[in-house]
Chains A and B, each alone.
Chain A
């Protein structure tokens, strides 16, 4: 990936975000950044399936030549083990 002076990199990030927000995936909570020639995805998603779908869509959007790095976390479905006291 070689972002140009015309701002292609920024437009690409916007296009990825639009793709993720589209009807298929409907994901607005993932941060998309360009980092070291790759696209970096961070945030928490609701399921492993959602994470995998996001990764497939982003790779499809940027093409096979651009690495997609994922630091996406799947939200825990465990019950809490602590309460917060609000006196």
Chain B
């Protein structure tokens, strides 16, 4: 069993120093890994990233994160990732990391992701260059997520987690106005989660949504936006799945659930 702590959308401004640190210091007692699901800052500035970095620096559990749209707002996302990296956070964007937790290989694949909507009600790659690029950007994020999950499978990760900021499913958006669902995530991310064979998908972004959802392929999805979980973080005790075949390759989309025993 792996204990996964996660939170997104903590939106720390420059006045947020120390706000979450007392809770984060309890992490070693209750979690094996800590995931940050983006929107860590309010305005996306380096000075705010330094506040975030101080909140998580030196924690005795590995910290893995993705950035969110707020973290991109001031065009300083690379500097923010560097500041967090200096504090020991592994910041993912279209790549993955593997953690050895008491002999269990825990793989985390991450991307911020982007929007576009959900199957049957989604934006299409058609028309104006801006519209096409909108959809292509989401597609690139999703492709990076799928490939990273596939790499984790090929490398024999025992547990595989998909970490995004935008939501892969509409389930966890319940409570948000349905009109804005297309701006909260994309089915392309869920398709990547299913095709890549994740065991759990964690995201943020939807403050008015709900915590629980599931992809069409049967992968559990958790919205860990802080306003949703109502705590400094949530903890999921994930049973290490038994794979049907050595190395636990990505699931066959033609046979949903076929990767599990």
Contacts and interface: CB of A to CB of B under 8 A. Distances in A.
Nearest to A81: B231
Contacts of A77: 19-20, 22-23, 232
A45 to B, nearest CB: 8
Nearest to A85: B237
Interface in A41-87: 43-47, 49-50, 73, 75-80, 82-87
A35 interface: no
Given A46-B16, A79-B23, A79-B231, A26 B236 contact: no
Given A43-B227, A46-B11, A83-B30, A29 B208 contact: yes
18 contacts: A26-B42, A28-B207, A29-B9, A29-B207, A29-B227, A45-B227, A46-B10, A46-B16, A47-B15, A73-B227, A78-B232, A80-B232, A80-B234, A82-B235, A83-B30, A83-B236, A83-B237, A86-B200
Interface of B: 3, 9-13, 15-16, 19-20, 22-23, 26, 30, 42-43, 70, 73, 177, 200, 207-208, 220, 226-227, 229-239
A83 B239 CA distance: 13
Nearest to B70: A26
- Closest 8 A/B residue pairs (Cβ): A44-B227, A29-B207, A79-B23, A80-B231, A83-B235, A79-B26, A46-B11, A86-B238
B227 A80 contact: no
Contact of A80 (B10, B12, B42, B233): B233
A47 B235 CA distance: 22
Contact of B230 (A23, A45, A76, A87): A76
Contacts of B177: 31
Contacts of A23: 43
A43 B208 contact: yes
A87 to B, nearest CB: 5
A86 B239 contact: yes
Contacts, number: 84
Consensus secondary structure, chain A interface: loop
A18 to B, nearest CB: 14
Given A29-B227, A80-B233, A86-B220, A47 B16 contact: yes
A76 B23 CA distance: 10
A62 B128 CA distance: 37
A79 B235 CA distance: 10
A83 B3 contact: yes
A76 B234 CA distance: 12
A17 to B, nearest CB: 11
B13 A50 contact: yes
A47 B227 CA distance: 11
A46 B207 CA distance: 11
Contacts of B12: 46
With a 10 A CB-CB cut-off, give which of B13, B23, B227, B232 has the most chain A CB atoms.
Answer: B227
Given A26-B43, A29-B9, A47-B16, A84 B237 contact: yes
A15 to B, nearest CB: 17
A52 to B, nearest CB: 12
Contacts of A49: 15
A23 B13 CA distance: 12
